[in-house]
Amino acid sequence: MSAAGMTDALRRLEAMLLIRAYEEKLVEFQRGGAPGTCTSVGQEACAVGVVGALESRDRILTNHRSAAHLIARGADPGRLMAEVLGRIDGYCGGRSGSLHISAKELGVVLTSTIVGGELSMAPGVALAQKMGQGEPGGIVAVFFGDGAACEGIFHEALNLAVQWQLPLLFVCENNDWQAFVHRRETMPDNAIADWAAGHGLPVATVDGNDVEAVHAAAREAVAAIRADGQPRFLELVTYRLRGHFEPDDQAYVDADELARWQARDPLQGQADRLLAQGSLGAADLVQLRDRVAARIEAAARFAQASAWPDPHTLTHHVYAEQGARS
Amino acid sequence: MTRMTTEQAIHQALAEEMQRDERVLLMGEGVATKRPDLVQDFGATRVRNTPLAEAIIAGTAVGAAASGLRPVIDLLFAPFLTYAMDALVNSAGKLRYLSGGQFEFPLVAMSMTGSGWCVGAQHNHNLEAMFAHAPGLKVVMPSTAADFKGLLKAAIRDDNPVVFFTDLGLLHQEGEVPDEADHVVPLGLAAVRRVGADVTLVSYAKTVGVCLQAAEQLQAQGIAAEVIDLRTLKPLDETTVLRSLRKTGRLVVVTEASGLCGMAAELAALAATRAFDVLRAPVVRLTGPDAPGASSWVLEQAALPTAEAVVEAVRGMLGEVAVGCEALAAS
């Protein structure tokens, strides 16, 4: 199956397969002694569905669970892996590691691993967009989870975006887990959508494991923001299939609940849909998986071959050039 | 020269920089309410009242700064900065570095602090050392009207995040401000306010005045004190301090902030590590106590280093040297 002949739905499947393979490789790296990461396994449809609805003029803010957003945006898995391994060919020269990767060239700006940090900065990026700093008509999407929705800054950001009429898409990946605490212990059910609606935002709650449903909702929200300049809110209901970070034995996770969500794996769901529609054959799926696996193997080789940063550069980039100690 | 208050100098700096660079915008609790002339001149888009929510004001400034704007935020009183810590310390101070230099954060966070208004510890807390300790941030705390104007203009033009403190006690103090069209005072340069060869008094903000009063009293006793106004706490002008110390051999650091891990501790460490060979007496730190600021006028004043305390400290230092010389002569 050639890349050129693929439908958008197939591309979305391939993007999700690539994200999954990338993160599985990171899990393998961690078992080999590399730093652990916060994976987005199980949440791939959220990233692929929303990011695919954005244009290059749009900006993205994300968080510690960012790999899916970055890869969906077109980030090179090799440079991402190099960053996770702390090598100079990483997007941030190895200074970020997995937790705060941003890639200005891709419009993935200001990634914060402080839960809610991305929400605090997003209105400012949208304000700059509105005041003419970016490309005309560009909007901003900010990704966060149900944990961030429990932070006070969630409400401050939503309130300001509404009051200042900012072109901002809030994307809450409600994955039921806030580090090691289940959401049922921290908030009433359906609270996120209600809280957002309470701030006067149009809200859509969507099955976050159905990439086509996510994509359709995101397209609608993005078009609405571009049309009237007002913020929108998407709640994507999904589930964190792996632990908070690697390694995590998930001993605290209810096995039945986990099994129910594993049965709703977003990759399998999209593959089944396309197989049923006849737009994907079993052999095509194997071919897709092989293509993705080959890319990830090449990426891993690139990252492992990348040099370590020069320790003499330790304090480079702390201050801007005119600064005293940069 | 024109005589004006600190408050007027700050306003002039804001107006001039907004005129000079259309990317400069002002946000905060009441900035549009209090500065209607700026709204009239530059529009409501660039002069924005905000909700009373420091975390999102600062966070918005960080996002805007990384995206091409040059925000100035007024967070009113320094203790409110603790609500803005994540945006200033974790985002503005770290994300340039963590991104490998992809982003810059040209923003200024203004706030007021210091004794004199009897507002108590939740409006008066000299937090400057906390921010000096945070990598990526610059910290400015001027003492004269001319410097408030010149340093604020420099801070707005700087490509780094700058935390700019205004000592409440100086807000209505008048001073001469140069009339030149573009009066900018570079960050990172201390000012020698008085020249002397016997002892170096280092301070910043309101306590510079205390040191100048002490120097005057010491002069009457035949002791020549050099008074250094740091103006910028980070980057710290170590050169000016060390140059003075090599001349006088004696250092008294005077701050309204408490002593533990503060600027006075940093200057004492500077003297110990870089000028130990010239020290003729132990360094003296005169600082506020490790206590929240009280509201009662009497208690508030009791927390402050006074000119008399500075004089006494200096006389003690010189006395120790005299005793030492006598002991040497007797042996």
Q: What is the pLDDT of residues B89-114, one digit of tens each?
A: 999 999 999 999 999 999 999 999 99
Which one from B16, B17, B29, B54 is the annotated catalytic residue? Answer: B54
Contact A156 B95 (CB under 8 A): no
Picking from B22, B52, B160 by the largest number of A CB atoms within 10 A of its own CB, the best residue to mutate is B160
Mutate to test the interface with B, among A66, A113, A154, A156 (most CBs of B within 10 A): A156
Q: What angle do CA B245, B250, B252 make, to 5 degrees?
A: 100
- The domain ranges of chain A are 3-303
B25 touches A: beta carbon within 8 Å: yes
The string over A192-230, giving b where at least 16 C-beta atoms fall within 10 Å of a residue's C-beta and e elsewhere, is bbebbeebebebbbbbbbbbbbbbebbeebbebbeeebb
- What is the mean predicted confidence (pLDDT) over B65-81? 97
Helices (H) and strands (E) in chain A, counts: 12, 7
* B123 noted as active-site residue: yes
Same fold, B2-177 and B191-329: yes
Spell B231-265 as b/e; 16+ CB within 10 A means b.
bbbbbbbeebbbbbbebbbbbbbbbbbbbeebbbb
For chain B, give every domain's residue range: 2-177, 191-329
Q: In whole angstroms, give the CA distance from residue A99 to residue A238.
A: 21
CA angle B152, B153, B154 (to 5 degrees): 90
The CATH number of B191-329 is 3.40.50.920
Q: Which CATH number is associated with domain B2-177? A: 3.40.50.970
Would you call A66 an interface residue with chain B, using a CB distance cutoff of 8 Å?
no
Confidence of residue B252 (pLDDT cuts 50, 70, 90): very high
What is the fold, at CATH topology level, of the domain defined by A3-303? Rossmann fold (3.40.50)
> Is the predicted pLDDT of residue B146 greater than 90, yes or no?
yes
The Cα–Cα gap between A174 and A203 comes to: 14
Q: Is A321 on the interface with B (CB under 8 A)?
A: yes
Q: What residues contact residue A97 under an 8 Å CB cut-off, 6+ apart?
A: A35, A83, A84, A86
Q: Which of B123, B125, B183, B226 is catalytic?
A: B123
Query: CB under 8 Å to B200, separation ≥6 — which residues?
Result: B225, B226, B228, B241, B244, B245, B247, B248, B250, B251, B252
Q: Average pLDDT of A115-128?
A: 97
From CA A231, how far away is CA A234, in angstroms rounded? 10
Chain B window 114-153: which residues touch A at a Cβ cutoff of 8 Å? 135-136, 138
Residue B140 has pLDDT above 50, yes or no: yes
A284-309: pLDDT as tens digits? 999 999 999 999 999 999 999 999 99
Position A324 pLDDT exceeds 60: no
Q: Among B47, B24, B22, B52, which residue's Cα sits nearest to residue B36? A: B47
CA angle in degrees (0–180, nearest 5) for A112-A114-A118? 45
Shortest CA gap B4–chain A (Å): 30
Give the burial class of B1: count Cβ atoms within 10 A of its Cβ; 0-12 exposed, 13-18 middle, 19 or more buried: exposed
A229 inside 8 A of chain B by CB: no
Hey, is the C-beta of A209 within 8 angstroms of any chain B C-beta?
no
